[in-house]
Amino acid sequence: MNLADLDLLTIIIAYLFLFYGHTATVMFAFGQGMLIDLFSGGLHGLFTFLYLCVFGAVYLGSQLFNLQHPRGQMIIVALAVLLKKMMFFMMLTVFYHRLSFSKDFLWVSVFLVVGTGLISPILFYLFDCLRADPLEDTHGSLNERP
């Protein structure tokens, strides 16, 4: 297990929800789910459903917690990843009856839920540093002209 195992798409969905609103976020979640479904060999529509569930969890979580505060970011992202993992397990057990999960697999999933929640404020900060506000740049350059 490494850093790439953390659910970065859920953090990106939460970030987009905070700064770009519902429409852009649901389009991104739907598009990412479709792309993953297209390139994976699994059930068609599984990841589209999962990432739309992530969007729903972020939306509902933002009604209860402040997504602008680091504590709220950790809680909302961790709950969204937890819902995604639970829905993934339920969908697999419904469609694949002979599938069984080991305790190690479940512990790794819990670790990934906690790890993704803990790393989310750091990535929100990094995304904020990368984001450029073109309106502030134009206002600043207009005021500097003689």
pLDDT score recorded for residue 4: 55
User: Model's pTM, two decimal places?
Assistant: 0.82
Quick one: pLDDT at residue 27?
Answer: 95
State CA 74 to chain mean position distance.
11
Task: Give the residue extent of every domain in the chain.
Answer: 3-131
Separation of alpha carbons 33 and 10, rounded Å: 11
Could you list the mean pLDDT of each consecutive 10-residue stretch along the chain, which spans 146 residues? 73 92 93 91 87 95 92 94 91 80 81 91 90 55 48
pLDDT at position 45 is: 87
Q: Quick check: 9 and 32 in contact, CB under 8 A?
A: yes
CB contact at 8 A, 51 and 32: yes
pLDDT at position 135? 46
Concatenate the DSSP letters of all residues of 60-129 into one string. Answer: HHHHHS-TTSHHHHHHHHHHHHHHHHHHHHHHHHHH-TT----HHHHHHHHHHHHHHHHHHHHHHHHHHH
DSSP structure class, residue 138: H
With a CB cutoff of 8 Å and minimum separation 6, the contacts of 11 are: 77, 116, 119, 120, 123, 124
- Rounded distance, CA 3 to CA 142, Å? 43
d(CA 59, CA 18) in angstroms, rounded, equals 10
